[in-house]
């Protein structure tokens, strides 16, 4: 009789013990499925915008969170990303900013990833131009556009035009206007990058993004320092050093710095310094 | 006459407040608001935007649940379950009954909005204290404007519920029509904008469908005009005349519906 009464409790106990074990197995299977399914699907904004009814803002927040978590996961695991990921980031950002056209975080994160990690300046600038049209009061979209034209596309005429626009909108750092006016004769291309990354670090809270920006800033500061030393070497000897170790033998640097991205620094024929890692963990050429 | 309408509306209000569903809806909205404080930690810069989005959405969602699960019960179920005869045996005209129900429902919605706005404001104050530097752009005025606009949307939507209740005998049909009106009202603006855009022109819809959409945009309520959440979340200033315009729109639309509902209900044969 007592045994009969105990059976349900015994079954319950057994299931409680068995459930977490089973769940662990299920989670492994689920992760395998998620890994295989890649980035998932994107619902076009023509459908997702009306379907969001009056909840466009909160849905854009949710999609943004999904996008940043996906990127954060890739950064932490140092997983390779290919060009299909660039399209994913662009499409996702386009939908998020159609739902909420003023959402700066979405514009910024996706345009940064597209320009720095995938070199897809066409997509990054398209998003920034969309931001510029919608955030008419904000200096940041033309400022970042100006930077992209200057740093990545070496188009100082357009860079100066956008930086002027940023200065006109007001509210930005004081160096924008002098930078815009001096751009056509600006010698170092790395100084604006350092300023921009420092500015971004000041206004970023996300730990993944902070880590990402710190690594990039560290690498660019090293590049800037090495380029200055190469110039010093040229002034001293009248010719460029053949390799960076020449700077060490000339006692211009103590040791060859390590690339935070794991690559090796080298001198380009025009005296600029670059790295084999191309300043990214990802492989957009795949 | 006004006394009769008022006493009926107070009765409706008390009946609605006694419904246990309202506590469940309130708890759900409060849980959603408290989630704000946890979720904010995952975002980079625009924490004020996210906090406003979540809180305004929670208010709207709670309003929708009250409308679809409570308001419908208050009139449509009265007819559905024949409890309306108890009220009709008293010295009330049918038009007074309809207006009394509507004003009573508006009392419930107003009370729900007042409680939820207070709670959401409290959540934002706490979030603001927690992340002071990330709430610099936040504007209380724009936030309350969005809450007011959302309330106006429910004034119109509940007028629809009364209207549908007065022409159908089934509470399920009232619910179905009301949900359809809400979805169509929220999307009609975007459909029209899309069709007028370059992409929409390429869609090459038949002339009949184009005409149907042209007619529908004047028949269906444009509920998107009451959605100011995105503007509030970015503290974008909205002129006072816009608020006046949507107040007028809500008043005219619900006025038409309520007069039509009173006329139809007065002439209708009850089951």
Whether A54 and B223 lie within 8 Å, measured CB to CB: yes
What is the number of other CB atoms lying within 10 angstroms of the CB of residue A86?
21
Whether B46 and A206 lie within 8 Å, measured CB to CB: no
B81-120 pLDDT per residue, tens? 777 888 778 788 889 999 999 999 999 999 999 999 999 9
DSSP SS3 for B172: helix
Interface list for chain A against chain B, based on CB atoms closer than 8 Å:
46, 49-51, 53-58, 60-61, 64-65, 68-69, 100-105, 108-109, 203-206, 209
Whether A57 and B42 lie within 8 Å, measured CB to CB: no
Residues across chain B: 271
pLDDT tier, B237 (very low <50, low <70, confident <90, very high otherwise):
very high
| Residue B23 neighbours by CB under 8 Å, 6+ apart | none
Q: For B19, what's the count of Cα atoms within 13 Å in the CB-facing half-sphere?
A: 22
| Residue B161 neighbours by CB under 8 Å, 6+ apart | B67, B71, B72, B75, B76, B105, B174, B178
Q: Confirm or reject contact between B132 and chain A (CB < 8 A).
A: no
Burial of A193 by CB count in 10 Å (0-12 exposed, 13-18 middle, 19+ buried)?
buried
pLDDT at A36: 56
User: What is the phi/psi pair of residue A273, to 5°?
Assistant: -110, 140
Q: Is A224 within 8 Å of A190 (Cβ atoms)?
A: yes
Residues in A touching B46 (Cβ below 8 Å) = 103-105
Q: How far is A210 from chain B (nearest CA, A)?
A: 10
**CA separation for the pair B165, B218 (Å, rounded):** 22
**CA separation for the pair B217, B147 (Å, rounded):** 25
Give me B102's structure tokens: 């509507």
- In angstroms, the Cα distances linking A203 to A27, A196, A213 are 36, 11, 11
Whether A102 and B53 lie within 8 Å, measured CB to CB: no
**CA separation for the pair A127, A133 (Å, rounded):** 10
DSSP SS3 for A119: coil
Residue B141, pLDDT above cutoff 70: yes
Whether A205 and B42 lie within 8 Å, measured CB to CB: no
DSSP SS3 for A138: coil
Q: Mean pLDDT over all residues of chain B? A: 88
DSSP state letter for A273: E
Question: pTM for the whole thing?
Answer: 0.80
Parse chain B into domains and list their residue ranges.
2-267
What is the number of other CB atoms lying within 10 angstroms of the CB of residue A234?
13
For helices A121-134 and A140-151, the axis angle rounded to 10 degrees is 160
A-to-B residue pairs, Cβ atoms closer than 8 angstroms: 80
Burial of A151 by CB count in 10 Å (0-12 exposed, 13-18 middle, 19+ buried)?
middle
Identity of the residue in A53, A58, A205 whose CB atom sits nearest the CB atom of B53: A58
Burial A39-65 (b: 16+ CB within 10 A, else e): eeeeeebbebbbebbbbbbbbbbbbbe
| Residue A162 neighbours by CB under 8 Å, 6+ apart | A142, A143, A145, A146, A149
What is the phi-psi region of residue B31: left when phi exceeds 0, alpha when psi lies from -120 to 50, beta otherwise? alpha
**CA separation for the pair B26, B115 (Å, rounded):** 9
Residues in A touching B188 (Cβ below 8 Å) = none
B26-52 pLDDT per residue, tens? 888 888 888 888 888 888 888 999 999
Q: What angle do CA B90, B7, B92 make, to 5 degrees?
A: 30
Q: How far is A125 from chain B (nearest CA, A)?
A: 21
Q: Which residue has the tokens 């940064």?
A: A112
| Percent of chain B whose predicted confidence (pLDDT) is above 90 | 54
**A266: β partners:** A274
Residues in B touching A68 (Cβ below 8 Å) = 42, 44
Q: Is B101 within 8 Å of B75 (Cβ atoms)?
A: yes
pLDDT at A44: 74
Identity of the residue in A53, A61, A105 whose CB atom sits nearest the CB atom of B53: A61
Short-list A127, A148, A160, A260, CA closest to A193: A148
DSSP B62-76: HHHHHIIIIIHHHHH
Identity of the residue in B43, B150, B234 whose CB atom sits nearest the CB atom of A102: B234
**CA separation for the pair B103, B84 (Å, rounded):** 17
DSSP SS3 for A265: strand
B207-229 pLDDT per residue, tens? 788 788 878 888 889 999 999 99
* Interval B194-199 mean pLDDT: 72
- Walk along chain A (286 residues) and give the pLDDT tens digit of each residue: 777 788 888 888 888 888 877 777 777 777 666 665 555 556 777 778 888 899 999 999 999 998 888 888 777 777 777 777 888 889 999 999 999 999 999 999 999 999 988 889 999 999 999 999 999 999 999 999 999 998 899 888 888 889 888 988 888 887 776 676 666 444 556 777 787 778 777 777 777 778 877 888 888 888 888 888 888 898 888 888 988 888 888 888 888 888 888 888 888 888 888 888 877 665 544 4
Nearest-CA residue of chain A relative to B153? A54
Q: Is B67 within 8 Å of B109 (Cβ atoms)?
A: yes
State the complex-level ipTM. 0.88
Parse chain A into domains and list their residue ranges.
48-130
């Amino acid at each position: 009789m007592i045994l009969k009464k105990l059976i349900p409790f015994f079954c319950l106990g057994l299931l409680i013990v068995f459930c977490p074990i089973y769940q662990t197995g299920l989670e492994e299977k689920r992760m395998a499925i998620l890994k295989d399914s890649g980035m998932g699907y994107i619902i076009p904004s023509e459908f997702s915008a009306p379907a969001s009814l009056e909840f466009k803002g909160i849905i854009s927040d949710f999609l943004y969170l999904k996008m940043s978590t996906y990127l954060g996961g890739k950064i932490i695991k140092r997983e390779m990303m290919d060009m299909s990921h660039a399209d994913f980031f662009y499409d996702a950002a386009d939908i998020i900013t159609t739902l909420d056209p003023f959402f700066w975080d979405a514009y910024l994160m996706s345009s940064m990833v597209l320009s720095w990690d995938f070199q897809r300046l066409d997509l990054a600038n398209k998003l920034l131009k969309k931001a510029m049209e919608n955030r008419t009061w904000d200096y940041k979209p033309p400022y970042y556009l100006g930077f992209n034209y200057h740093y990545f596309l070496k188009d100082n005429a357009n860079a100066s035009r956008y930086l002027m626009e940023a200065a006109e909108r007001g509210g930005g750092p004081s160096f924008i206007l002098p930078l815009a006016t001096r751009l056509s004769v600006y010698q170092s291309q790395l100084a604006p990058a350092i300023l921009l990354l420092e500015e971004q670090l000041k206004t970023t809270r996300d730990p993944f993004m902070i880590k990402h920006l710190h690594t990039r800033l560290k690498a660019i500061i090293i590049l800037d320092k090495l380029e200055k030393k190469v110039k010093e070497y040229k002034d001293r000897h009248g010719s460029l050093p053949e390799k960076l170790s020449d700077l060490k033998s000339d006692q211009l640097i103590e040791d060859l710095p390590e690339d935070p991205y794991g690559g090796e620094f080298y001198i380009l024929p025009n005296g600029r310094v670059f790295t084999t890692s191309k300043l990214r963990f990802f492989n957009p050429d795949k | 006459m006004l006394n009769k309408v008022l006493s009926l509306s107070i009765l409706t209000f008390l009946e609605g407040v006694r419904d246990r569903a309202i506590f469940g809806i309130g708890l759900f909205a409060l849980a959603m608001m408290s989630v704000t404080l946890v979720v904010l930690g995952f975002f980079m810069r625009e924490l004020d935007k996210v906090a406003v989005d979540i809180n305004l959405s929670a208010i709207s969602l709670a309003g929708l649940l009250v409308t679809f699960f409570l308001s419908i019960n208050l009139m449509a179920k009265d007819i559905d379950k024949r409890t309306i005869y108890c009220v009709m045996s008293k010295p009330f005209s049918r038009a007074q009954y309809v207006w009394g129900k509507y004003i009573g429902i508006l009392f419930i919605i107003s009370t729900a909005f007042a409680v939820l706005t207070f709670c959401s404001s409290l959540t934002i104050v706490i979030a603001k204290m927690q992340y002071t530097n990330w709430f610099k752009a936040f504007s209380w005025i724009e936030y309350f404007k969005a809450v007011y606009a959302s309330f106006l949307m429910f004034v119109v939507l509940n007028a629809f519920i009364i209207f549908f209740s007065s022409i159908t005998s089934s509470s399920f049909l009232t619910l179905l029509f009301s949900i359809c009106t809400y979805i169509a009202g929220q999307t009609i603006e975007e459909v029209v904008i899309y069709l007028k855009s370059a992409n929409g022109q390429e869609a090459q819809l038949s002339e009949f469908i184009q005409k149907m959409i042209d007619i529908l945009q004047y028949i269906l309520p444009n509920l998107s005009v009451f959605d100011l959440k995105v503007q509030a979340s970015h503290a974008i200033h909205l002129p006072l005349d816009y608020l006046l315009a949507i107040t007028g729109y809500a008043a005219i639309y619900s006025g038409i519906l309520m007069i039509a509902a009173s006329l139809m209900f007065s002439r209708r044969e009850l089951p």
